[in-house]
């Protein structure tokens, strides 16, 4: 592109305020086919593809690319102390996650389980394909201090490794289990790659889970979950009596209190209300299966209306990113709240309430349809 001719002269000049470009000749522009939104290059001449999630972006005049705004992406620039944000490059992240991590860490949608650290052994490492729960990783030019110390230090400050040779003999891995060599206790079934984060009564919707395969290939079938991580018996999900994952001890909702206290209470009661709705859903499913003697699959079909509704949740942003507390709610959606009650935009809570109130109405409609089917099939009233 023609603007590259002038890049070395003006890109990092602190006194420059505009990018010098040659006259635009669209006949020299290449045709582009993009999976992301088509945008103009820094000289607003030729078309180019915007950047997708995790791709490089930013730089002076966004020479490294613009993020796809239609996908809700923004450029999370890596700005070191003393640097100018205008000159800094970064990577595309989902809007709302760019301020979660503190310098020198940056946010990654899928943070590796095998991140580099000082004096790392040179021999090849077999790393599992998984995303770890901590999305904040060391930014460019920084590295973890050690395998166990996650503090990010400049790569140039790594201490010299010990000169004492350390030799280890790798253990021989056990043979992989197969459906023909594994017998699972009823009602468990065999899985070639069992999740490392199985659903339990106390945690039916694990938050950020790794993608590696668990050692135990026997898993609970659909409609069942583990009683707990220590009591690994599978029971029907509606038989669970542990709702600690969503139950909250909320402070009194006092409209005369401070705005932050009021918002904290409001957010807590919203979570508690969703927990009550989850209990209602489990009770309705139990009634459907045990009282109406209907197939569980038919009830699951009724919940189709509630699938993929998590994207409708409004984005919650906190004035202090360290106060953000994210988890999975009783609807199975990834949500965040501000622990200190200081929301960047308090109206986000009202929007969240409206979205979840609409979900409540969907639950009620499902209940009415289920009741109608049960009455017609079994004559129940």
User: Domain boundaries in the chain?
Assistant: 30-99, 100-157, 183-244, 259-378
Phi, psi of 156 (to 5 degrees): -75, -10
Q: What pLDDT is stored for residue 189 in this prediction?
A: 92
Q: Residues of the chain with pLDDT > 90: what percent?
A: 8
Mean pLDDT of 46-69: 89
* Helix 259-286 / helix 347-378 crossing angle, nearest 10 deg: 10
Rounded to the nearest integer, the mean pLDDT of the chain is 77
Mean pLDDT of 141-170: 71
Q: What is the pLDDT of residues 212-222, one digit of tens each?
A: 777 788 999 98
Judge whether 73 and 97 are in contact, CB under 8 Å.
no
Burial of 2 (0-12, 13-18, 19+ CB in 10 A): middle
Residue 117 in this model has a pLDDT that exceeds 50: yes
Q: Do 183-244 and 100-157 have the same topology in CATH? A: yes
Residue 162 in this model has a pLDDT that exceeds 60: no
Which DSSP helix (H) or strand (E) runs through 372?
Answer: helix 347-378
Residue 292 in this model has a pLDDT that exceeds 90: no
Q: For 48, which DSSP code?
A: E
Residue 160 in this model has a pLDDT that exceeds 60: yes
Mean pLDDT of 32-42: 90
Q: How far apart are CA 180 and CA 368, in angstroms?
A: 45
Q: What pLDDT is stored for residue 234 in this prediction?
A: 94
Q: How far apart are CA 346 and CA 199, in angstroms?
A: 33
Q: Residues of the chain with pLDDT > 70: what percent?
A: 78
Q: What pLDDT is stored for residue 50 in this prediction?
A: 93
Q: Which CATH class is domain 100-157?
A: mainly beta
Q: Give the CATH H-level superfamily of domain 183-244.
A: Laminin (2.10.25.10)
Residue 105 in this model has a pLDDT that exceeds 70: yes
**What would you report as the CA-atom Rg of the chain, rounded to the nearest whole angstrom?**
26
Q: Which CATH class is domain 30-99?
A: few secondary structures
Residue 130 in this model has a pLDDT that exceeds 70: no
pTM over 0.75: no
Band (pLDDT 50/70/90 cuts) for residue 172 is low
Q: What is the pLDDT of residues 325-346, one digit of tens each?
A: 888 888 888 888 888 888 888 8
Which range among 93-97, 132-136, 276-280 shows the weakest confidence by mean pLDDT? 132-136
Higher pLDDT, 79 or 125: 79
Give the three-class secondary structure for 334. strand
Q: How far apart are CA 107 and CA 174, in angstroms?
A: 36
Band (pLDDT 50/70/90 cuts) for residue 1 is very low
Higher pLDDT, 379 or 278: 278
Q: What is the pLDDT of residues 247-271, one digit of tens each?
A: 888 887 777 778 888 888 888 888 8
Instruction: Select the highest-mean-pLDDT range: 66-70, 106-110, 135-139, 323-327.
Output: 66-70
């Amino acid at each position: 592109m023609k603007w590259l001719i002038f890049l070395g002269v003006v890109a990092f000049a602190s006194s420059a305020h505009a990018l010098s470009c040659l006259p635009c000749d669209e006949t020299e522009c290449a045709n582009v086919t993009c999976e992301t939104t088509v945008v103009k290059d820094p000289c607003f001449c030729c078309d180019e593809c915007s950047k997708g999630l995790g791709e490089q972006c930013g730089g002076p005049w966004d020479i490294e690319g613009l993020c796809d705004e239609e996908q809700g992406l923004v450029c999370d620039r890596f700005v070191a102390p003393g640097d100018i944000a205008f000159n800094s490059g970064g990577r595309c992240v989902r809007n709302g996650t760019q301020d979660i991590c503190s310098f020198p860490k940056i946010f990654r949608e899928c943070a590796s389980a095998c991140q580099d650290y000082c004096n790392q052994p040179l021999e090849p490492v077999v790393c599992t394909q998984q995303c770890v729960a901590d999305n904040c990783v060391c930014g460019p030019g920084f590295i973890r201090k050690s395998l166990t110390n996650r503090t990010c230090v400049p790569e140039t400050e790594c201490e010299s490794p010990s000169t004492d040779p350390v030799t280890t003999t790798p253990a021989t891995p056990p043979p992989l289990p197969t459906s023909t060599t594994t017998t699972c206790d009823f009602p468990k079934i065999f899985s070639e790659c069992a999740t490392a984060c199985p659903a339990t009564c106390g945690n039916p919707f694990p938050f950020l889970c790794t993608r590696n395969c668990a050692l135990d290939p026997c898993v609970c079938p659909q409609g069942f979950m583990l009683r707990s991580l220590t009591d690994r018996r599978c029971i029907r999900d509606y038989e669970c009596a542990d709702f600690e994952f969503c139950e909250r001890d909320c402070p009194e909702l006092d409209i005369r209190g401070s705005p932050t206290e009021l918002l904290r209470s409001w957010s807590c009661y919203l979570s508690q209300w969703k927990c009550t709705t989850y209990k209602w859903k489990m009770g309705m499913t139990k009634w459907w299966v045990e009282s109406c003697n209907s197939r569980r699959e038919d009830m699951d079909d009724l919940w189709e209306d509630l699938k993929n509704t998590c994207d409708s949740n409004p984005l919650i942003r906190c004035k202090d990113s360290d106060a953000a507390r994210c988890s999975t709610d009783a609807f199975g959606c990834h949500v965040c709240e501000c622990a200190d009650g200081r929301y960047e935009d308090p109206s986000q809570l009202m929007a969240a309430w409206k979205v979840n109130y609409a979900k409540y109405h969907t639950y009620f409609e499902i209940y009415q349809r289920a009741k109608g089917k049960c009455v017609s099939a079994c004559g129940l009233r």
